[in-house]
Structure 1
């Protein structure tokens, strides 16, 4: 392995030298020896300079990664060694100030002193755990902050630049969908007003949802090619010889303006009727196609409102992921507003709520929906998700768990003849306009399936607790799977469990220790497996061990399975039937529904197999339709 080092010369805003910060990693397996000086303040040793970052190399540098990301790339769940040195031994220092003021557990300083009366040195370790996003490396000397060096902490277990953003957008969608469900308890309670929000988090989540490719960007492209227009009548004075449109109103105008007539000697009927006169100029009506109509003024107003919202949020946002995304949104909305057709549209003087165009015409009805979202949904906050956004950091383990829950809900909703309502998912706190996800026994969602003329009831629980001598029973210790399916077929009850697994490598080791470190052959197999896991993003052996624990300890359990962001789905069967079994399912954000289809097919087959096992269908399970 080759040691990687980032050497940073830290200065204050006046270019005064404050010291040297070195960040190193010894875990790089595929790095080549190199030494690159990026600037006077930044030097890279054995650090690849790449066009796009992977999710394996501890430190990489991407010079052209774009405005939304930092050039210097680190990894979650990776330990880095920190060394700070300064020639001023008498000063007071706060090393990694931006990080430690948020979470002291990231940076652990060694207890022994390295410096002397001439130099100041401290060393320690840095680990971002399962937080990802933009962060900063800096120090504070005598309460004077150094210039912040931005870094990007990316995910090991999913594509940080595509899959992660897709997961956040999905969570934004679910938070906002609550308001537009027919049975939502909140819908009728919202009204248009200027009530001040407690946080700006709701606004940001709305923007994340709005700027998904299938939402505002797609609608703008459609509207720019299908802008609605109307014919507008106008009158103009033209010489009689150039008139092309002569009607009854033209005659009235001639008679009402005798000063416009002059003597003309010709044998025409109109000359005789006007006693030898004809008009010099004639007023005619023209029909123009115009886009300056109330509906388009409303669309322009909406885009301008989004621009104003983004500008307001930028004024109060700190450096990091949120600010970078807001800058991206700002560029997008300015591009939209610079379109030529907006220049032809006047300011809005009223909202045409009763317009059939806004309510029914494609493109316009979506803008009208987004407008209502903007007015209504800013009163909504989602407690769990809000708690995981700590400035520029997001704890992926919790966010992934919520995301998997909604994927599982969607799969069951698609399969079932009954549909879940969002008021069955969220617990509404009406006093402060916030919601949280129901958990435990209160989280039950009921679905109904009809297979081979048999009715099957399935209940979905989130964090249901199983323990001794309780309604939901384990014969040994207490367990709390992330998600549990309770399947009712007549009087028969069976459980299927799922756990979302986006977790620390350090936790995995606990499972291995059960089998003893002295078994050299076992340890070699574990090392080989770890290498495969890292290269191919497959599930962890330790996760499968835990699924065995669920299946064996929780009474009436037929199967337990891992949901994880990877690329391999595998099941381990006790017999030639699909259950009893344990296994792992790939469930990765942005996978275009492929993983969901696999999970849907599996649940369908489990239900069919349970019908067979309980004697309700007379088919060999292998012959059941897929």
Structure 2
């Protein structure tokens, strides 16, 4: 609902662009009734607090992206990272999620968990479809791959027996003559004056002195058809893709949360629907029937450009909701755009990616659960890597239980790496402190938290704060033994999509085979 308003930052009006984690004053131009005030607070409960009468405090917290507030569009940006870097983080996370292996859920699930998983499954499918359709899949958007199919859709020659008028029959064989002889109902009488009465076939088709000639004859013809199993497969994928965008449109229409970029998601989903519907109207698709079984052995689906990319996407898409990924991840990526959480996920995949370059592909990836420092049940991931005579594991949200893996209480670092019984922890913090001359560094309270991890979690050697800084390659490490190597101690690493050298160097030194 449109409500005329002005947004101020320290008394100065703001137009269009806002910052995350910044307090703004919103003043509505007209006096609000109690009902109006209640409605506004209900619509924007996550970001708005009342101050007086028609004046409110607005803070988008960790949300970054395009959003709508009271009928007006705004962009919420971050001074810690550019919009391009944030986009690159999202794309990197999405690409890594798409490569995670299939995960079988425990069949014994409660009703609410099944419903939650169903939504997470669909959200993941929608997210993967958006990435493939609006960004790219194997080098180009899916729409481009479809237009490549459109130029030369797969077809086959179909052999068909049809009953044609006798004048249009192009081939006659003994079978044709046998069918004519057996079906006198197709004969028509001909006058003796007609030249047809002198033909051999008229001489054979005689009844009571009257000559007859066949009006129709069966013939076998070849015709081109696009109704192939491969094209039926493409039609199925398109139809199911349209269905998931319809589900998202319905979900968004029922969502009362007026913030967190839902208007931008609606627009994007509408564009996806329109494009998929247009693809579905391709002439050769209209000729195609419904699919009854997937042609898994088809060389067209496996090799032909366009078909191969769509079929590859569909295989990932089917497994999308069953990746070993905590359901909250996909909700964060699609729904909340929580930049601090996205940075945390991205840091995990960056650590895993660097380890994978050293150790090769993980031998196993699985979900883990545990109790965090607040006593809440959390879900995470474990990626195991194997080398001759040595194992290494990378964890997200690994919980160290107090009195067991921890000397005191429960601790749950964002990222933990274990090799030969020794632990190294990385905590992602989307914040920093800045000196008067502009030098950025990890905040003191975050370094203090690293000391707690180092002292409390058994067999811990190093702990690190990861913080966003695109300019400086700053890396600080405080060794317990005064050593110049990363043997034991507390450190901080500047890390952003344009600045990953520091993390790469640390991991290479700590975990090289």
TM-score normalised by structure 2 residue count:
0.69
User: Which secondary structure does the structure 2 equivalent of 1:131 belong to?
Assistant: coil
Of the three residues 407, 411, 415, the one matched with 1:483 is 415
> 1:586/1:271 Cα in 2 relative to 1: closer, same or farther (>3 Å)?
farther
* Equivalent pair of 2:493/2:502 in contact (CA under 8 Å): no
Does 2:277 match 1:293?
no
Partner secondary structure for residue 392 of structure 2: strand
Q: 1:222 to 1:577 in 2, by over 3 A?
A: farther
Q: Is this contact kept in 1: 2:242–2:273, CA < 8 A?
A: yes
Q: Kindly provide the CA deviation profile for residues 137-164 of structure 1, in whole angstroms up to 9, marking residues without a partner as x.
A: 34xxxxxxxxx3343323444444x554
**269-278 or 562-571, which moves further after superposition?**
269-278
**C-alpha displacement at 1:231, in angstroms?**
1.0
Asked whether 1:560 is paired with 2:471, we answer: no
Supply the distance in 2 between the matched residues of 1:354 and 1:495 (Cα, whole angstroms): 48
Q: Does 1:586 align with 2:495?
A: yes
User: Following the alignment from structure 2 to structure 1, what is the Cα–Cα distance between the partners of residues 469 and 238?
Assistant: 36
Q: Aligned residue for 2:121?
A: 202
1:446–1:459: 8 Å Cα contact kept in structure 2? yes
**Offset, 1:73:** 3.2
* TM-fit CA distance, 1:206: 1.0
Greater share of helix residues, 1 or 2?
2
Does 2:326 correspond to 1:357? no
**Residue 128 in 1 paired to residue 128 in 2?**
no
Say which of 352, 362, 387 aligns to 1:449: 387
Q: Please point out which of 360, 364, 379 is paired with 1:437.
A: 379
Task: Confirm or deny: 8 A CA contact 2:41 2:49 kept in the other structure.
Answer: no
Q: Which residue of 1 aligns with 2:146?
A: 220
Task: Check the 8 A contact 1:479/1:550 in 2, yes or no.
Answer: no
CA deviation profile, 1:50-98 (whole Å, cap 9, x unmatched): xxxxxxxxx55xxxxxxxxxxx33221222223345458xx43655954
Alignment partner, residue 149 of structure 1: 72
| Superposition deviation, residue 218 in structure 1 | 5.5
Query: 1 CA distance for matches of 2:159 and 2:180?
Result: 19
CA distance in 1, matches of 2:77, 2:427: 23
- Aligned residue in 2 for 1:527: 436
Pairs within 5 Å for 1:450-469: 450=388, 455-463=389-397
- The equivalent residue for 1:408 is 351
Could you list the per-position Cα deviations for residues 413-472 of structure 1 after superposition, in whole angstroms to 9, with x for gaps in the alignment? 44325724233x3459xxxxxx9633xxxx66543335xxxx443333444578999655
Equivalent pair of 1:169/1:209 in contact (CA under 8 Å): no
- Give the Å deviation of 1:337: 1.6
Is it true that 1:78 corresponds to 2:12 in the alignment? Answer: no
1:87-113 CA-to-partner distances (Å, cap 9, x unmatched) read 58xx43655954565546x34444xx6
**Cα distance per residue 1:301-357 (max 9 Å; x no partner):** 3322332332243233145244233223212212322323223324x1x52235633
Q: Matched residue of 1:289: which SS?
A: strand
Deviation at 1:291, TM superposition (A): 0.6
- The corresponding residue for 1:500 is 428
Cα 1:296–1:444, aligned 2, differ >3 Å: closer, same or farther?
Answer: closer
Residue 272 (structure 2) pairs with residue 329 (structure 1): yes
Whether the 8 Å CA contact 2:19–2:78 is kept in 1: the answer is yes
Is 1:384–1:436's contact at 8 Å kept on the other side of the alignment? no
Once the two structures are TM-superposed, the CA of residue 24 in structure 1 deviates from its matched residue by 1.3
Of 21, 25, 30, the residue aligned with 2:5 is 21
Counterpart of 2:158 (choices 206, 223, 232) is 232
| Structure 2 counterparts to residues 526-545 of structure 1, below 5 A | 526-529=435-438, 540=442, 545=447
Q: Which runs of no fewer than 5 residues in structure 2 stay unpaired?
A: 371-376
1:185 aligns with 2:126: no
Contact map agreement 1:135 1:393 (CA 8 A) in 2: no
Q: Secondary structure at the match of 1:398?
A: helix
- Greater alpha carbon shift after TM alignment, 314-323 vs 202-211: 314-323
Question: d(CA) in 2 for partners of 1:217 and 1:324?
Answer: 18
**Structure with greater contact order relative to length (CA < 8 Å, sep ≥ 6):** 2
Moved more, 268-277 or 554-563: 268-277
Q: Distance in 1 between matches of 2:466 and 2:506?
A: 13
Is 1:422 matched up with 2:345? no
Cα distance between partner residues in 2 of 1:550 and 1:420: 32
Structure 1 residue 308 corresponds to structure 2 residue 243: yes
- Relative to structure 1, the CA distance from residue 282 to residue 323 in structure 2 (aligned partners, 3 Å threshold; closer, same or farther) is same
Q: Deviations over 1:181-224 (max 9, x none)?
A: 2xx3339999xxxx977764532331110232334445534533
User: Separation in 2 of the partners of 1:550 and 1:467?
Assistant: 14
Deviations 1:341-374 (CA, angstroms, capped at 9, x unpaired): 223324x1x5223563399534557656766777
Encode CA deviations 1:497-550: one digit per residue, 9 max, x unaligned. 3221213x6xx4xxxxxxxxxxxxxxxx812216xx6xxxxx656599569847
Is the Cα contact below 8 Å between 1:502 and 1:565 reproduced in 2?
Answer: no
Secondary structure of 2:126's counterpart equals helix
Shift of the 351–254 alpha-carbon distance from structure 1 to 2, 3 Å rule, reads closer
Deviation (angstroms), 1:601 = 6.0
**Number of residue pairs matched?**
467
